[in-house]
Amino acid sequence: NAGVTQTPKFQVLKTGQSMTLQCAQDMNHNSMYWYRQDPGMGLRLIYYSASEGTTDKGEVPNGYNVSRLNKREFSLRLESAAPSQTSVYFCASSLAGGPDTQYFGPGTRLTVL
Amino acid sequence: DAKTTQPTSMDCAEGRAANLPCNHSTISGNEYVYWYRQIHSQGPQYIIHGLKNNETNEMASLIITEDRKSSTLILPHATLRDTAVYYCIVRPMNSGYSTLTFGKGTMLLVSP
């Protein structure tokens, strides 16, 4: 039981390049989330998916798109990376409904030059 | 969601109990208190949550005051591996989906 996995662990991009961050969970959770964490700041929600087939914007969605590929997988895409998107990205999942607990992946450290 | 206030940092000696306070004076009756922690360079980790009663699990104990305006997370025998940022979060129950709003948390440093 791997929990929440993320790939890649590290990535360096040039401004304007695109990439997709992958996230998968094996806990049969319904809800999945993407957060970013910048130095000295707490986590900020980018997008979430309450259930398979639905996605909604979080606090900082600009510059990102997401795809809930199936119940297990939730990807985050940067179409044209900018230096302001340099951050650590965390994926999380939860069973959903009521006071559910979110479980986090190990993170992807992205640098945009 | 209710706002929380936590000290910026705390120190604790290894083997001693670490008591991390959190103020949530505007908490409403349908909001839970959650605690997460984040060890350096890792993803956040769930610790414990509660509504009214005190809670205990294998990681920690959560003490919530009777008026629910504050709580304390207790790590009974802190180890060096407990050095982390600890986040206190309040969230409503029965939400169709759940998002977590992380503040700045308390940096706990456990020393030998």
Once rounded to an integer, what is the mean pLDDT over residues B60-77?
A: 96
Q: How confident is the model over B34-55, as pLDDT tens digits?
A: 999 999 889 999 999 999 989 9
Q: What percent of chain B has pLDDT over 90?
A: 76
Cβ <8 Å between A33 and B45? no
Q: What is the pLDDT of residue B53?
A: 87
The pLDDT, as a whole number, for residue A73 is 97
Q: Is the pLDDT of residue B66 over 90?
A: yes
- Provide the shortest C-alpha distance from residue A48 to chain B (in Å): 8
- With CB atoms and an 8 Å threshold, state whether B46 touches A101: yes
Whether residue A31 and residue B97 make contact (CB cut-off 8 A), yes or no, is yes
Find the closest chain A residue to B95 by CA distance: A98
Q: B100 CB near a chain A CB, below 8 Å?
A: yes
pLDDT at B71: 97
pLDDT at B21: 97
* Cβ contacts of B102 on chain A, cutoff 8 Å: 42-44
Q: Is A49 exposed, middle or buried (0-12, 13-18, 19+ CB in 10 A)?
A: buried
In contact, A77 and A68? CB cutoff 8 Å: no
> In the predicted model, what is the mean pLDDT of residues A27-45?
88
pLDDT digits (tens, 9 = 90+) for A61-84: 999 999 998 999 999 999 999 999
Q: Residue A23 has what pLDDT? A: 97
Would you say A34 and A90 are in contact if contact means Cβ atoms under 8 Å apart? Answer: yes
CA distance B59 to chain A (A): 15
